[in-house]
Amino acid sequence: TRETDSRATGSPSRWEKALKWIGPEKGVVHLATAAVLNAVWDLWAKQEGKPLWKLLVDMDPRTLLSCIDFRYITDVLTEEEAFEILQKGQVGKKEREEQMLVQGYPAYTTSCAWLGYSDDTLKQLCTEALKDGWTRFKVKVGADLQDDIRRCRLIRNTIGPEKTLMMDANQRWDVPEAVEWMSKLAEFKPLWIEEPTSPDDILGHAAISKALVPLGIGVATGEQCHNRVIFKQLLQAKALQFLQIDSCRLGSVNENLSVLLMAKKFEIPVCPHAGGVGLCELVQHLIIFDFISVSASLTNRMCEYVDHLHEHFKYPVVIEKASYMPPKDAGYSTEMKEDSVKKHQYPDGEVWKKLLAARGN
């Protein structure tokens, strides 16, 4: 009706206003927006016959910038500043693209050291990963300090002093607790502590970051970051040393582009969050584009990899020598196998039928 149609009235409908109460630019509305727009990018790349990373790399800087909403971030990054970054990124771009095609983008593994694994399992998985060429490992911490010390010692002894170790607390601690806990784990030389406290606590992350500088430990966060505005403030407050974009939490490729450019201005390395169902498939495109066209650096940069559920995708990631090899198929690597979709479709899919039947019993 005209009452609820903003196109007819020229002003926001009552439904659009209502949606803002569960947003704006956060929560379920933002996640749904990301899903739709990521699908549009997938279609665009397929139409051009290119993988998404290549579509972005080949795009004229002005065209690329037309895809970005600079609202709320111009105090940190203007469109002209972003244009200058992309122009500088043209230098050596061809060589960096060739480097990616040959060497791939460095990855780290999170699959070896989940909480709850036995010591034998930790040692076995880390040893197998070393044989497969992995040099960067992430361990989950935060449940029990003495257990963390024991597990981190076991992992560090297994992988050796020269390999890179990161830690992830998954929002476990208050600010003082995070500083105290990490001071006890500093002996294991972690590169970063990820999500040490509430992901919404920008000043808390800044306080932790400042306290951990003397210990040589950085702060990493971003997988729960709602939007570019929160990332802007994290950068302004010097609250992180490693920025972790998420391909589905932010408003699709569009918003991720703005964050990549802000990170470049602040010279903060981007180390994307991945794992889950398809996040590895998606985010590889963004970080390969970042190296070729924006950051032009691999210093302290790596992309998370979790060996989980890739069998459901038509174009799963390809890992060689612990690196993401650039996708060659057209699109955003988002397409799932028809059989997987059919089995998991709610409520008539085979998987859901079994779950619902079990619950009924």
User: Per residue of the chain (361 residues), what is the pLDDT tens digit?
Assistant: 333 344 444 566 776 667 777 778 898 889 999 999 999 999 999 999 999 999 999 999 999 999 999 999 999 999 999 999 999 999 999 999 999 999 999 999 999 988 888 999 999 999 999 999 999 999 999 999 999 999 999 999 999 999 999 999 999 999 999 999 999 999 999 999 999 999 999 999 999 999 999 999 999 999 999 999 999 999 999 999 999 999 999 999 999 999 999 999 999 999 999 987 899 999 999 999 999 999 999 999 999 999 989 999 999 999 999 999 999 999 999 899 999 999 999 999 999 999 999 988 6
If residue 261 lies in a helix (H) or strand (E), which one and from where to where?
Answer: helix 252-266
Strands, E assignment, the chain: 105-109, 136-140, 164-168, 190-194, 218-221, 242-243, 303-305, 319-320, 323-324
The CA distance from 161 to 225, in Å, is: 32
Segment 116-125 long-range contacts (CB within 8 Å, at least 24 positions apart): 119/150, 119/151, 119/154, 122/151, 122/154, 122/155, 122/158, 123/154, 123/158
Torsion of CA 280, 286, 292, 295, to 10 degrees: -110
The CA distance from 263 to 295, in Å, is: 9
What is the CATH class of 93-338?
A: alpha beta
Q: What confidence score (pLDDT) does residue 12 get?
A: 65
If residue 202 lies in a helix (H) or strand (E), which one and from where to where?
Answer: helix 202-212
The CA distance from 352 to 6, in Å, is: 38
The dihedral region occupied by 170, where left means phi > 0, alpha psi between -120 and 50, and beta the remainder, is left
Among 284, 271, 243, 296, smallest CA distance to 85 is for 296
The CA distance from 86 to 89, in Å, is: 5
**β-strand pairing of 303-305 with 319-320:** unpaired
Instruction: Label residue 60 exposed, middle or buried (CB < 10 Å: 0-12, 13-18, 19+).
Output: exposed
Domain boundaries, the chain: 93-338
12: preceding bond cis by omega (within 30 degrees): no
Structure tokens at 230: 């929160």
CB neighbour list of residue 276: distance below 8 Å, 6 or more residues apart: 306, 308, 309
The CA distance from 316 to 287, in Å, is: 16
Among 339, 325, 226, 219, smallest CA distance to 280 is for 325
Give the DSSP letter of residue 186.
Answer: G
Structure tokens at 95: 């060589």
Residues marked active site are found at 140, 273
The CA distance from 315 to 331, in Å, is: 9
CB neighbour list of residue 258: distance below 8 Å, 6 or more residues apart: 68, 69, 70, 73, 77, 82, 228
252-266 helix and 27-48 helix, angle to the nearest 10 degrees: 90
Cα-Cα-Cα-Cα dihedral sign, residues 20, 23, 25, 28: negative
* Chain CA centroid to CA 343, Å: 27
Structure tokens at 280: 């590895």
- Please list the residues that pair with 243 across neighbouring strands: 221, 270
Among 65, 66, 39, smallest CA distance to 52 is for 39
Q: What confidence score (pLDDT) does residue 17 get?
A: 67
